[in-house]
Amino acid sequence: MTSTPTVLITGASSGIGATYAERFARRGHDLVLVARDKTRLDALAKRLQEEHGVTVAVLQADLTESADLATVEARLREDARIGILINNAGMAQTGSFLQQTGESIERLVTLNTTAPARLAAAVAPRFAQAGTGTIVNIGSVVGFAPELGMTVYGATKAFVLFLSQGLNLELAPKGVYVQAVLPAATRTEIWQRSGIDINALPEVMEVGELVDAALAGFDRRELVTIPPLHVAARWDALDGARQGLMSDIRQAHAAERYLTPA
């Protein structure tokens, strides 16, 4: 693996993914850009190559389609130049849970959970064998905020956080860095696609600021980066409480309060 690894970015045609592409190109990384919209990908690739002198490959793929997902998996397994995976592709939820259809749930879950897990699984063995490599998973603060009412979307983002934490435990000892990035509302096209008026939201972060903060966490090798969180100790307290909860769990017997009839 070269000292300046190639970066594969999913959902790279716009928003967070396109901004990651620009930032990594600025750092001198070659890129593999993955998304459905080839016209946009080609235009972005051309601009980045001209402005930064890097090599940019385009891989058109719909990650909800098994054949397309398999193509990206193969690229990750076989291209030893790829040393960083940015699992960014995702979609938001339109409407409440009662308004969801089976098909919409399946598509959302496939793109937000199945695709990043499979792509990470495709590249992790090669990274572990090489003793280096990075997997960045884009989650959301909605993943620990059911009060926001995006039930299926939030559940998929909770999966992304858990996946990242679990991968870190397994892969960090083998030299692989895993980062979960948890944005709050960010000014991207995901809102328009889900039928939500972004201008109606009270506080929205600009995408450049989001990615720059995420990359600051990346450079510091943070496990969990929450760009809008001003008091870092609050995440530490939440994670500490979780670990305290685990230490209090006794599996051999039910808790005493459940042994007395209500």
Question: Cα-Cα-Cα-Cα dihedral of 63, 69, 74, 75, to 10°?
Answer: -20
Amino acid at 47: R
Distance (Å, whole) CA 157 – CA 91: 11
The edge-to-edge listing of strands for the beta sheet with 31-35 is 56-60, 31-35, 6-10, 82-87, 134-138, 177-181, 224-225
Catalytic residue among 20, 153, 177, 258: 153
Are the beta carbons of 224 and 139 closer than 8 angstroms? Answer: no
Of the candidates 11, 73, 4, the one whose C-alpha atom is nearest the C-alpha of residue 211 is 11
Question: Two tokens at 143?
Answer: 């993943």
Distance (Å, whole) CA 131 – CA 82: 14
Distance (Å, whole) CA 201 – CA 219: 30
With b for 16 or more beta-carbon neighbours within 10 A and e for fewer, the 147-174 pattern comes to: eeebbbbbbbbbbbbebbeebbeebeee
Q: Is 20 noted as a catalytic residue in this protein? A: no
Scanning the chain, the segments in alpha helix (DSSP H) are 15-26, 38-52, 66-78, 102-109, 115-130, 151-171, 190-193, 207-219, 232-248
- Catalytically active residues, by annotation: 153
